[in-house]
Structure 1
């Protein structure tokens, strides 16, 4: 009987790079050039991942296209204890405000606990970023709101839009950093900053080399969902945020969002497997920002 693996997500660390984590504590490093090959057994069912380290009480079945892999109740519990839900106002940890760039015209503002370093930026697929300031959680939140209101800087950019520009980024790091530098200068010039937030100088960090993007074949499509009986096998070209860029079947690259893997029981694909039999949406360049 084939060994079954259940993915709990992709994690980034500054020192170790990206790894896939599996139930039971196993980890799979993701160096470029590695062969990635797995399948969903016939009759497989995707089940809820639970919340805050606890299993789903009813082992609910969740849709294949869900990025969260949680049922409605577990999703509510998970969000209720997150920084994004503004329910942790008494969190004593220092937080950092950042500006992150994903492509031309795509800069967002966000916050992350200082102890996490740049891991949050790697997880989001930020091509480059700079810290903006450090302080208590609510001061960081007020600064984030200030930038959204005064400079019209969003706090969210859909992953589909990030993928749409990833294969056509400026080649020069200075060109990639230009919008972050310009917005950083405008941000620190604003009045109304919380007194408890300490501004930080603009020092742009570039992740192109960490991700391995740029210079490789452009992606022709993205996996829409995993399905029973389907599989994927190919060479790992790049990892950006939660996305694996895989060279499959001699066609070029396909993008697999690893959040689609969670909740499924997976098995290793055979050594002769090559290609992708999961549903794939072709990526085309459109005016709305999608390929």
Structure 2
């Protein structure tokens, strides 16, 4: 029997998306590449642990969980994250950014300067611009200022992001227009921390990087992996943690959230079967309406 591989997630390199595997191996993903694997019969999805440490219980986790962590490991992982506000003395500089995912769908966030645009690629931002740079807590206060004054969220569900990818404006200028207006309103606000330096509006567009230009619209998305199930398709686009796979069957293009892979033992397969649960992509118009700020 073939040795099972365990995925540790999708990474974005200078050359595009890469699937990382436990043990340090990586699989570069290029447009048109066949992505195919199966889950062993009788396989169980187990907790991936936290902060580089294995789960002491080897706990089973639900197939639909995108975190693949048990309750205790999830708590430990979040306790050491920037989002938890437990790193107030972090001396490294941070950036505040504005990100756009589709019509009526923008968010504010922060990321460490040393990470460059990696966070935006990981989130599937179609377009983004830096807003300011400074200490962590100043960046956090600015994020909160925008959320309160401009009603800009700091989180957008991935289901909504997927839903609007098929209705993106064709031109970069059109895709940047909402961000340009939001950036202007943001820098005009009073109450900015003095230690946060404002940055000019310089939009960065990821449609080409993600392969979304001219890509066929996704009809479905994988709900979860199951023991004995298989996934097989040709990679036509990728955004954030999502792979858009042309299945060559009546299912059309199906989106696979690679966060659903972690915790499973995966086996190579040669066939073209696609036998894991799939649901329809959320209605695009409803997603855009929900995202208006």
Q: Fold conserved (TM > 0.5)?
A: yes
RMSD of aligned C-alpha atoms?
A: 1.1
CA distance in 2, matches of 1:286, 1:245: 16
CA distance in 2, matches of 1:285, 1:62: 29
- Is the CA contact 1:245–1:256 (under 8 Å) kept in the aligned structure 2? yes
**Counterpart in the other structure of 1:28:** 27
- Is the CA contact 2:230–2:274 (under 8 Å) kept in the aligned structure 1? yes
- Is the CA contact 1:249–1:276 (under 8 Å) kept in the aligned structure 2? no
Regions of 4+ moved over 3 Å: none
Q: Residues 214-251 of structure 1, C-alpha deviation per residue, up to 9 Å, x if partnerless?
A: 31221110000000111011110011000000000243
1:9 CA drift (Å)? 0.6
Alignment of 1:189-228 (within 5 A): 189-228=188-227
- SS of the equivalent of 1:59 reads coil
1:73 CA drift (Å)? 0.2
1:156 CA drift (Å)? 0.5
**Counterpart in the other structure of 2:236:** 237
- Is the CA contact 2:63–2:260 (under 8 Å) kept in the aligned structure 1? yes
**Counterpart in the other structure of 1:86:** 85
CA distance in 2, matches of 1:178, 1:20: 33
- Is the CA contact 1:20–1:27 (under 8 Å) kept in the aligned structure 2? yes
- Is the CA contact 1:249–1:275 (under 8 Å) kept in the aligned structure 2? no
CA distance in 1, matches of 2:268, 2:121: 27
Stretch of structure 1 that moved more, 89-98 or 211-220 = 211-220
| Ranges in structure 1 where 5+ consecutive residues have no aligned partner | none
CA distance in 1, matches of 2:223, 2:23: 27
The alignment's TM-score, normalised by the length of structure 2, stands at: 0.96
**Counterpart in the other structure of 1:258:** 258
CA distance in 1, matches of 2:262, 2:221: 17
| Ranges in structure 2 where 5+ consecutive residues have no aligned partner | 289-293
**Counterpart in the other structure of 2:38:** 39
CA distance in 2, matches of 1:48, 1:151: 38
Q: Residues 86-137 of structure 1, C-alpha deviation per residue, up to 9 Å, x if partnerless?
A: 0000000000000000001101000000000000000000000000000000
**Counterpart in the other structure of 1:113:** 112
**Counterpart in the other structure of 1:165:** 164
- Is the CA contact 1:95–1:112 (under 8 Å) kept in the aligned structure 2? yes
Alignment of 1:51-90 (within 5 A): 51-90=50-89
CA distance in 2, matches of 1:287, 1:175: 18
**Counterpart in the other structure of 1:277:** 275
- Is the CA contact 2:108–2:143 (under 8 Å) kept in the aligned structure 1? yes
CA distance in 1, matches of 2:246, 2:223: 17
